[in-house]
């Protein structure tokens, strides 16, 4: 089956490679030539643009940074919705606003196209290992149609509800993750300032009530864990600016609904300050180095 994959960045590239490994014929497109080159060297078919990539594709997957990129890709006279094959299933895996996602699905439906939102959790390591968690929003038939393909890229495929609900779950999850990373960093900084070895401190807290995902699998203090971004100069991984975007989505979403999320707002402000200090491209665990101004 022919699959089109648009957006071959930190996440999209390894996800597309897992589809190739599973035997799908994958045509990919990215604005960055270097990403396309890696994709084609590993067996993918590079396209010159989106319309070339989606020609004849039964499934179209997008993995772009934010709402504005996804709207730009899908809408308008030269947007994907205007030239996708009539029976194609569209799967947007980007993390974007739940409202934008709902609107796009409605516009796709008006053109007779099926669309689901399927944002992911698990980071670049999960994307490479094919162990991502997918949070899927859409009607049950479309979700079941997508499932065999999603299973080639992920371990847990959850149907969250109707269109946009995958994004709602993702926004809630990432708000919690952003807060958790800040809290974990604070606890480690306090212990280190008291003379504690961060590895000893982390090992004990991992087996105590403060344990959490950041502490167990993504320690933000350099040298505590191998192969995590903090031990590689905070390179790769999940960028500060992407976390800032997700916290922005949470704050915006809460305003519309009047949900009380004071910690989400503080987290948004802290990541914003960290980004402004020139760290936007680093992995989000670099908030470990956040300093008072
Ligand atoms: P990235 O910036 O590494 O990759 C995005 C890619 O999209 C880039 O290569 C860019 O050139 C490409 N792109 C943008 N507009 C395009 C267009 N119109 N046509 C073709 N290509 C286009 O970002 P990423 O880390 O891969 O994240 C992608 C999405 O996944 C984001 O929404 C992010 O929030 C989410 N996410 C990321 C992680 C992570 O750990 N990196 C984890 C979970 C979810």
CATH number of the domain enclosing 143: 3.40.50.720
A 10 A CB-CB count for 145 gives 17
CA-245 nearest atom, ligand 1: 34
Pocket test for ligand 1, best of 28, 29, 30 (most atoms within 8 A of CB): 30
Q: Measured between alpha carbons, how far is 178 from 263 in angstroms, rounded to an integer? A: 10
Q: Is 152 an active-site residue?
A: no
Q: What percent of the chain has pLDDT over 70?
A: 100
The model's confidence at residue 258, banded by pLDDT at 50, 70 and 90, is confident
Do 11 and 152 share a domain, yes or no?
Answer: yes
Task: Indicate which residue's Cα is closest to atom 18 of ligand 1.
Answer: 73
Do 99 and 238 share a domain, yes or no?
Answer: no
Total domains, the chain:
2
Do 99 and 196 share a domain, yes or no?
Answer: no
Do 172 and 211 share a domain, yes or no?
Answer: yes
Do 133 and 51 share a domain, yes or no?
Answer: yes
CA-72 nearest atom, ligand 1: 18
Q: Which helix (H) or strand (E) element contains residue 114?
A: strand 114-117
Do 102 and 179 share a domain, yes or no?
Answer: no
Contact 230, 222 (CB under 8 A): yes
Q: pTM of the full predicted structure? A: 0.94
Residue among 21, 170, 207, 245 flagged as catalytic: 170
CATH number for the domain including 276? Answer: 1.10.1040.10
How confident is the model over 101-111, as a mean pLDDT? 96
User: What is the average pLDDT value for the chain, to the nearest integer?
Assistant: 96
Do 146 and 89 share a domain, yes or no?
Answer: yes
Q: How far is CA 68 from CA 32, 73, 96, 276, 280, in A?
A: 18, 9, 9, 21, 18
- Domain of 97 in residue numbering reads as 2-162
Q: Does the pLDDT at position 48 exceed 90?
A: yes
Contact 34, 8 (CB under 8 A): no
Do 157 and 187 share a domain, yes or no?
Answer: no
The model's confidence at residue 1, banded by pLDDT at 50, 70 and 90, is confident
Do 283 and 191 share a domain, yes or no?
Answer: yes
Do 190 and 278 share a domain, yes or no?
Answer: yes
Do 243 and 137 share a domain, yes or no?
Answer: no
Within 6 Å (CB) of ligand 1, which residues are found? 6-12, 29-32, 35, 63-65, 69, 72-73, 94-95, 120-121, 123-124, 237-238, 242
Do 115 and 218 share a domain, yes or no?
Answer: no
Pocket test for ligand 1, best of 177, 242, 247 (most atoms within 8 A of CB): 242
How confident is the model over 5-24, as a mean pLDDT? 97
């Amino acid at each position: 089956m022919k699959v089109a994959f648009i957006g071959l960045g930190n996440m999209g590239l390894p996800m597309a490679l897992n589809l190739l490994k599973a035997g799908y014929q994958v045509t990919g497109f990215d604005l960055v030539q270097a990403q396309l080159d890696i994709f084609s060297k590993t067996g993918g078919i590079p396209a010159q643009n989106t319309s070339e990539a989606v020609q004849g594709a039964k499934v179209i997957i997008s993995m772009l940074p934010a709402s504005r990129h996804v709207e730009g890709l899908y809408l308008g006279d030269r947007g994907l919705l205007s030239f996708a094959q009539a029976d194609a299933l569209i799967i947007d895996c980007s993390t974007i606003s739940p409202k934008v996602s709902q609107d796009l699905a409605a516009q796709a439906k008006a053109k007779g196209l099926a669309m689901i939102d399927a944002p992911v959790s698990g980071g670049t390591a999960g994307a490479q290992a094919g162990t991502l968690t997918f949070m899927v929003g859409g009607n049950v038939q479309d979700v079941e149609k997508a499932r065999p393909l999603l299973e080639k890229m992920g371990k847990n495929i959850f149907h969250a509800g109707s269109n946009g609900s995958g994004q709602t779950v993702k926004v809630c999850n990432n708000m919690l993750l952003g807060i958790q990373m800040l809290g974990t960093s604070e606890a480690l900084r306090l212990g280190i300032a008291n003379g504690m070895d961060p590895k000893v401190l982390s090992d004990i807290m991992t087996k105590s009530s403060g344990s959490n995902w950041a502490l167990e699998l993504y320690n933000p203090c350099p040298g505590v864990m191998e192969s995590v971004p903090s031990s590689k100069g905070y390179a790769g991984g999940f960028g500060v600016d992407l976390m800032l975007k997700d916290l922005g989505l949470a704050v915006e979403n809460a305003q519309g609904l009047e949900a009380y999320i004071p910690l989400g707002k503080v987290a948004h402000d802290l990541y914003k300050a960290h980004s402004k200090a020139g760290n936007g491209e680093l992995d989000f665990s670099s908030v470990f180095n956040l300093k008072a101004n």
